[in-house]
Amino acid sequence: MASEESPLLVPAAHEAIYNRFAPHQKRWILFHVSFVGLLAMFVQVTFVPSIHQIAKDLDLTDAVVSLAFSISILADAIGALVWSTYSSFYGSRAIYLWGMPFLCVGSCGVALSASLQSLLFWRFVQTFGCAGALSLGTGVIGHIYKLEERGTAMGVFFSITLIGYAVAPFLGGTATRHWSWRNLHYSVGAWGLLEMLFIYLSFPETSHPGTLGIDKLPSRRSIHITWINPLSSLWLLRSPNLFAVMLASALMVNTVYILVVPVAHTIGIRYGITNEAIIGAFFLPNGLGSFTGTLIAGRLSDTVVRRWREKRKGMWCPEDRLRAAWIGGLFIVPLSIGASGLITTYIGGPVGLTLNILCLYANGVGVDSVLNPISSYNVDVVHSRSAEATAACMASRLLILSATTALIIPSIEHIGVSWTNIIAAVFAVIGQGIIFLTIRYGDRMRASIDVGFSTMENN
């Protein structure tokens, strides 16, 4: 079990693990995993602005077709658990190569869909194939970057990934309007095939030597298939620390969903906007805010770790990294979503629309200035199972959000957009309170249940 404070002195052999790859090789690996994350984000959010056109082509209602979005959230949660669990046994490179064929075949299946059943099935397969992108990416970063460099690398990773969140809805809406939603998904499948080729040719295995499950087998066949319980990662959440930051992150991300999922029913109706491409463009300011927030928070969290180690005279406390989340979690997130609800309700015309765009941007900055330190903390505190910890956090968060997403539009219809947003702001403040308690009592929480926490010597 890791104590609250671990000595700064690290064995030279452990330091050498992070010198296996030259700086340019690390940048190339970071580029690879970031663009796989970018592809996964495209798969997730390009679907939203095409819902109306898909419903029209398949003679269905928008509400029925939107089930495919809920299915994709479920597939994302399941896939993250499956791929991350198996990556601890086979390695990240192998799992990337196994996942991409699911994405490619699923994308073609979505493009060929002629019924709701076919659409839902292939949408699940498509999203399942790329569901490991974020958890595997954070695991790879943990393999190649030292503790004090990790937050900055995470910032680069998430910023590139979030470019997809920013531009994909607009591109998806534009492609749907001027090209076709079917061709859009064929293109996604081709992109997946290209990524698989790049990974096969130039992506090395990054896991620390001798740590993979398959490396520990006394003997193995040329093709060795092992059953691993994909739900085993969730058992990590019995740790109060990991459960607390998962819940806090869910309450923060919930504000994003409340702003962008019903945007056609809130900002669109309030300001008379019906064009799919323009509706999709409203993801852009939030995505740009996320891009900004994660870059700033990544570097800031590394700085916070270094400064607190200096204050502690060379001792390391994992929860120090979470101190970088304060401004975003306590001020920017709750104020941005609360203000958006009030602006949409009471301020019309170009002024109201402009203020809403600023709120979308600020919300992106705030949410990702919280998520980045939490993601890096998951890697820091359970370094040997970082991909699994990230996946467990992500999957649980997605399951919570899949339930709350279903309540967004009914809540807006019954109590209005302003009260819906204010309630979400209150929950965001509660989330920041949970982070504060984790910082304050992190050592006692880790001592209560040990899930194999890292120390400075093995981080």
Looking at per-residue confidence, does 11 or 304 come out higher?
304
Residue 7 inside a domain? The answer is: no
Mind listing the pLDDT tens digit for each residue in 165-199?
777 777 777 777 778 888 889 999 999 999 999 99
> Average pLDDT in the 343-351 region?
93
Round to whole Å and give the CA distance between 371 and 135.
Answer: 13
**Phi, psi values for residue 58, rounded to 5°:** -95, 5
Does the structure show a pLDDT above 60 at 38? yes
C-alpha span between 409 and 258 (Å, rounded): 9
Q: What does the block give as tokens for 423?
A: 């309630």
Q: Is 453 domain-assigned?
A: no
Number of domains comprising the chain: 1
Contact (Cβ atoms closer than 8 angstroms) between residue 35 and residue 156: no
Q: What is the CATH number of the domain that holds 381?
A: 1.20.1250.20
- Residue 9 belongs to some domain of the structure: no
pLDDT digits (tens, 9 = 90+) for 2-24: 444 444 444 455 567 778 888 89
Angle at 132 between CA 129 and CA 137, to 5 degrees: 135
Question: Over the stretch 412-447, which tens digit does the pLDDT of each residue have?
Answer: 889 999 999 999 999 999 999 999 999 999 999 999
22: in domain? yes
Tell me 227's DSSP state. Answer: -
Whether residue 221 lies inside any domain: the answer is no
Q: 363 pLDDT exceeds 80?
A: yes
Domain contains 90: yes
- β-pair partners for 7: 315
pLDDT per residue as tens digits for the range 51-61: 778 888 888 87
Report the residue count for the chain: 459
Most confident of 263-272, 306-315, 434-443: 434-443
CA distance 231 to 213: 17
Q: Are 240 and 445 in contact (CB under 8 A)?
A: yes
Which pLDDT score is estimated for 222? Answer: 61
CA-based angle 74:79:80, to the nearest 5? 100
Percentage of the chain modeled with pLDDT above 90: 38
- Dist. CA 177–CA 101, nearest whole Å: 28
Residue 326 in any domain: the answer is yes
| Per-residue pLDDT, 7 | 46
Query: Beta-strand (E) ranges in 72-191?
Result: none
Which residues partner with 6 through β-bridges?
Answer: 316
Contact 412, 262 (CB under 8 A): yes
Query: What domain range is 401 assigned to?
Result: 14-210+230-448
In angstroms, the CA 311 to CA 305 distance is 10
Task: Give the CA-trace dihedral at 403, 408, 411, 416, to 10 degrees.
Answer: 160
373 versus 5: which is more confidently predicted? 373
Task: Confirm if 58 and 115 have CB atoms less than 8 A apart.
Answer: yes
Tell me whether residue 455 is in a domain.
Answer: no
399 DSSP β-pair partners? none
